[in-house]
Amino acid sequence: MKTVLVTGCSSGYGLETARHLHVQGWNVIATMRTPRPERLPASETLRVLALDVTNEESIASTIEACGPVDVLVNNAGIGLFGAFEATPMATIREVFETNTFGVMAMCQAVIPGFRERGAGTIINVTSSVTLAPHPLVSVYSASKTAVEGFTASLRHELGPFNIAVKLVEPGYGPTTAFASNGQQRMQGLLPDAYGDYAGQVFASFSDIADFTRESDVAETILRAINDRSEELHFPAGADAVALAAQRQRTP
């Protein structure tokens, strides 16, 4: 039985991924800032641990508690919606600390063990904002696009050690807690001058019929874990798959 460490399991994609991998027979270590074990099934093959991916001590203690792992799924992230000109640099740094530097820190924490064992898989979860530009998410897009460049380079670097590195790119997920979790962070980020435009953007979301569900992401993550090809990008959800196809047709 192989072991997978999943970050950001308190809700949404991370929670469903932990559940799905557990059902598929994996030994799952589900991590989150504030442990909520009641959200996951009680099982000898599923552990819930506290982890803050922006804190070096938290990462080190969690990695030590986990023991050897075979797969790291970097899912933890925070959202941000608003006008760039109104976004404080402190908020921008907060987004990058979790979405970008947190991913890098977790990769750095597991790579030595993977390299010594000559095997391992890293799955970095980004977003469909990397497949096509979206309005009013410039900071969030930048944090996720940085992870895409990082992952593409890291794949070459770790290939000689038999370590696989993949990207999973979820689409728009209205059933997740993405918006509600970031409400406090987004206060004041839409000045009156952007009111009409923001209204049009919000209205356009209702036109997305084939949005991404939590199960889409969990299933795609498992597919990426099991993939033995050189494929790097794994769009998750019908809307993300459509964007990826459109990008291939019109770079």
Enzyme catalytic residues: 140
Residue with tokens 């270590």: 29
Q: Which amino acid is at 51?
A: L
Q: Are 40 and 21 in contact, with CB atoms under 8 Å apart? A: no
State the Cα–Cα distance between residues 101 and 64, nearest whole angstrom.
20
C-alpha distances out from residue 108 to 72, 117, 201, Å: 11, 15, 38
